[in-house]
C-alpha cells in the first residue's frame, strides 16, 4: 500500500537507540562536577529592606564602644550613627567652622568647645570632686579670637537647635546671643575666660538652670546674671570676684537657686552676708579657697542666715581665720550635712566653732590632721541629732583616746565609718565584725 501525497513523519528517537557514554566520558564528567567553582549567588544588603527608624533602634542596642565600627559599613550607617551621638568634645575648630560637625552630628545636646578654642594648647586637670581647673596659657595670641569663636558658635547654633549643655572659652556676648536665639532648650552653660561684658549675652537664655563662670567677674557681672537668669538652680564661680551686693542680688532675683559653689574666689570683704538673701539655698560648697572672708564688716552683714541650707561642703580650704570661720558657721547654722575634706588649719580651736551648727545629722572628716580625739568629742557630744559619722585619714584621732561617753554615742549611730589611720584597731574590729556601716554593739562589748 502506497501513501502518495503525504510526507513521511519521523518518529522520535527512543532512549534505547541513544549512544551510551563511554567510561572515559563518565569519569571526566564526574570529576569536572567537583572541580568546577560553585555557581555565584548575587549578594544583596538585606538591611536595605529595613526603614531608618527600625535600623536606628537596632544600632542603638549596640554598646557605644562598638558603634564607631558600625559607622564604617556604608554611608547610610554613618548617617544613622551620627544621629545617635549626643555628646562631643571638639578639638579641631576647623571641623566646626566648616559646618561638617553639625552635618555629621545633627542631634547633639552636649558640646564642649574648650580645647578647640584654645587650639589644643590647654592643659585640663581634674580637680576636686566635680570641679575641673583649667590652666590657660597666659599668652593671648595662642587663644582663638572672640570673632573666630563667635563664628563657630553661629554655625553650631544653626545646626544644633536641641543643644542643652555648652562649654566654651573666650566667647563674646554676640556669639552667646546667637546661641540663645536658636537653642532655646539650653539649660547648662559653662563660660571660661569670661568677663562682665560677656555676661550680657547670658540673660538671653530663658531656660538656663546651671551656670559655671571661670574668669574675672565682679559685682556688675553677678548683677547681670541675677537680672537675666531668673530660673537659675545651680551657680558655680571659679576664680571670680564680687562682693555683698552681687551675691545679695543673686539671692533676691534667683529665687530658685539651690546650690552655690565658690572655687578659689577673689571675693570682697563681707560677701558671706549676701548668702542670707538666698532663701531657698540648700547646698553651699567652698573649694580651694585661700580665705573664707576677709572679715571686715562681717558683723554688720551677718544679720540673717540661710534658713533652708542642708549641706555645707568645705574642701581644700584655709580655715585659719577664726572670725571668718565663725561667720561661716553662723550663716550655715541650719546645715544638716557638714563635710571637711583636706582643709588646712582645722584644729581643735577652730573646730569648736562648729557647735553653732546644732542640727547636724551627718559629719564627714577626711585629711584633717590637726584635729584630735578630744576636739572631735567636745563638738559632736553637743549634736543631739547626729546619726552618721565618717572619720577618714585624721592621724591625730586615736582609738586609745575614745572616752566612755564617745563610745556610747558611737553605739547609737545609724552609720559609722571610723578609719582615722591605718593602725586603727577599731576599724579592723568593725571590718571583721561586719558592722562597718552601722554603729552596732561593738562598744558595748568593750
pLDDT in tens, 214-226: 998 999 999 999 9
Residue 411 lies in a domain: yes
pLDDT for res 355: 94
Q: Which of 343, 396, 341, 345 is nearest to 374 (CA)?
A: 396
List all residues 6 or more positions away from 189 whose beta carbon is below 8 Å from its beta carbon. Answer: 165, 166, 202, 205, 208, 210, 211, 212
Chain-centroid distance of CA 101 in Å reads 23
In a domain, 307, yes or no: no
Kindly state the cell numbers that stand for 144: 582663638
Confidence grade of residue 78 (pLDDT, cut at 50, 70, 90): confident
Per the model's pLDDT, the better-predicted residue between 73 and 152 turns out to be: 152
Cα separation, 341 vs 311, whole angstroms: 14
Which of the listed residues 83, 102, 136 is the one where a domain comes to its end?
A: 83
In a domain, 103, yes or no: no
Q: Residues 162, 153, 183, CA angle at the centre, nearest 5°?
A: 25
Instruction: Please tell me whether the overall predicted TM-score, pTM, comes out greater than 0.75 for this model.
Output: yes
Could you tell me if 374 and 349 are in contact, meaning their C-beta atoms sit under 8 angstroms apart?
A: no
- Any idea which of 113-117, 279-283, 421-425 has the lowest mean pLDDT? 421-425
For the chain, the maximum distance between any two Cα atoms, rounded to a whole number of angstroms, is: 148
The whole-number pLDDT of residue 12 equals: 52
Which cell numbers in the block locate residue 91? 578639638
How far apart CA 345 and CA 317 sit, in angstroms, is 9
Q: For residues 296 and 275, which has the higher predicted lDDT (pLDDT)? A: 275
Tabulate helix, strand, coil % of the chain (nearest 5): 40, 15, 45
Residues 319, 325 contacting (CB under 8 angstroms): yes
Do the beta carbons of residue 362 and residue 416 sit within 8 Å?
A: no
pLDDT band at 58 (very low <50, low <70, confident <90, very high): confident
Range of the domain at 56: 49-83
Contacts of 82 (CB under 8 A, 6+ apart): 71, 104, 105, 106
Q: Is residue 417 in some structural domain?
A: yes
Q: Which residues of 395-406 are buried (b: 16+ CB within 10 A; e: fewer)?
A: ebbbbeebeeeb
Number of domains comprising the chain: 2
In which residue are the cell numbers 529665687 written?
255
- Inside any domain, residue 251: no
β-pairing, 110-112 vs 87-89, is parallel
pLDDT greater than 50 at residue 362? yes
pLDDT of residue 271: 93
Domain boundary among 83, 103, 136: 83
Is 277 inside any structural domain?
A: no
In a domain, 383, yes or no: yes
Whole-number pLDDT of residue 172: 93
Residue owning grid cell 537675666: 228
Alpha-carbon span 401 to 421, nearest angstrom: 14
Three state DSSP letters for 65-132: HHHHHHCCCCHHHHHHHHHHCCEEECCCHHHHHCCHHHHHCCCCCEEECHHHHCCCCEEEEECCCCCE
Quote the pLDDT of residue 236: 97
Answer whether 289's CB lies under 8 Å from 263's CB: yes
In a domain, 221, yes or no: no
Mode of pairing for the β-strands spanning 165-169 and 188-194: parallel
Residue 407 burial (10 A CB sphere; 0-12, 13-18, 19+)? middle
Q: C-alpha angle 320/389/280, rounded to 5°? A: 70
Helical residues (DSSP H) of 135-243, grouped into ranges:
146-159, 173-182, 219-228
Supply 265's cell numbers: 574666689
pLDDT per residue as tens digits for the range 147-180: 999 999 999 999 888 999 999 999 999 999 999 9
pLDDT at 361 over 80: yes
Mean pLDDT of 367-390: 95
Amino acid at each position: 500500500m502506497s501513501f502518495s501525497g503525504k510526507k513521511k513523519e519521523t518518529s522520535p528517537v527512543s532512549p534505547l537507540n541513544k549512544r551510551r557514554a563511554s567510561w572515559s566520558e563518565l569519569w571526566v564528567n564526574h570529576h569536572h562536577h567537583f572541580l568546577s567553582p560553585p555557581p555565584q549567588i548575587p549578594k544583596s544588603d538585606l538591611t536595605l529592606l529595613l526603614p531608618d527608624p527600625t535600623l536606628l533602634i537596632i544600632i542603638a542596642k549596640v554598646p557605644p564602644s562598638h558603634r564607631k565600627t558600625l559607622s564604617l559599613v556604608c554611608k547610610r550607617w554613618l548617617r544613622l550613627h551620627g544621629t545617635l551621638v549626643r555628646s562631643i568634645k571638639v578639638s579641631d575648630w576647623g571641623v566646626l567652622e566648616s559646618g561638617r560637625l553639625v552635618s555629621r552630628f545633627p542631634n547633639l545636646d552636649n558640646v564642649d568647645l574648650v580645647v578647640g578654642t584654645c587650639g589644643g594648647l590647654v592643659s585640663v586637670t581634674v580637680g576636686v570632686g566635680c570641679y575641673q581647673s583649667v590652666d590657660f596659657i597666659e599668652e593671648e595670641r595662642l587663644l582663638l579670637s572672640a570673632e573666630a569663636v563667635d563664628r563657630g558658635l553661629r554655625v553650631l547654633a544653626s545646626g544644633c537647635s536641641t543643644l542643652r549643655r555648652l562649654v566654651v572659652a573666650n566667647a563674646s556676648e554676640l556669639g552667646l546671643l546667637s546661641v540663645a536665639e536658636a537653642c532655646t532648650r539650653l539649660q547648662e552653660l559653662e563660660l571660661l575666660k569670661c568677663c562682665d561684658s560677656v555676661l550680657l549675652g547670658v540673660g538671653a537664655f530663658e531656660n538656663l538652670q546651671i551656670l559655671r563662670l571661670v574668669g574675672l567677674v565682679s559685682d556688675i557681672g553677678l548683677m547681670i546674671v541675677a537680672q537675666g537668669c531668673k530660673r537659675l538652680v545651680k551657680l558655680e564661680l571659679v576664680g571670680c570676684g564680687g562682693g555683698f551686693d552681687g551675691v545679695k542680688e543673686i539671692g533676691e532675683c534667683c529665687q530658685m537657686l539651690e546650690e552655690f559653689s565658690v572655687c578659689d574666689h577673689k571675693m570682697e570683704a563681707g560677701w558671706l552676708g549676701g548668702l542670707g538673701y538666698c532663701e531657698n539655698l540648700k547646698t553651699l560648697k567652698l573649694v580651694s579657697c585661700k580665705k573664707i572672708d576677709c572679715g571686715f564688716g562681717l558683723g554688720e552683714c551677718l544679720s540673717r542666715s540661710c534658713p533652708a541650707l542642708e549641706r555645707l561642703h568645705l574642701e581644700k580650704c584655709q580655715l585659719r581665720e577664726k572670725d571668718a570661720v565663725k561667720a561661716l558657721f553662723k550663716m550655715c547654722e541650719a546645715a544638716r550635712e557638714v563635710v571637711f575634706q583636706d582643709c588646712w588649719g582645722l584644729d581643735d580651736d577652730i573646730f569648736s566653732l562648729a557647735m553653732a551648727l546644732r542640727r547636724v545629722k551627718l559629719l564627714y572628716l577626711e585629711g584633717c590632721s590637726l584635729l584630735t580625739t578630744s576636739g572631735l568629742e567636745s563638738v559632736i557630744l553637743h549634736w543631739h541629732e547626729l546619726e552618721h559619722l565618717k572619720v577618714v585619714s585624721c592621724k591625730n584621732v586615736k582609738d586609745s583616746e575614745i572616752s566612755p561617753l564617745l563610745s556610747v554615742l558611737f553605739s547609737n549611730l545609724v552609720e559609722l565609718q571610723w578609719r582615722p589611720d591605718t593602725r586603727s584597731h577599731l576599724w579592723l574590729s568593725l571590718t571583721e565584725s561586719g558592722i562597718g556601716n552601722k554603729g552596732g554593739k561593738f562598744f558595748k562589748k568593750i
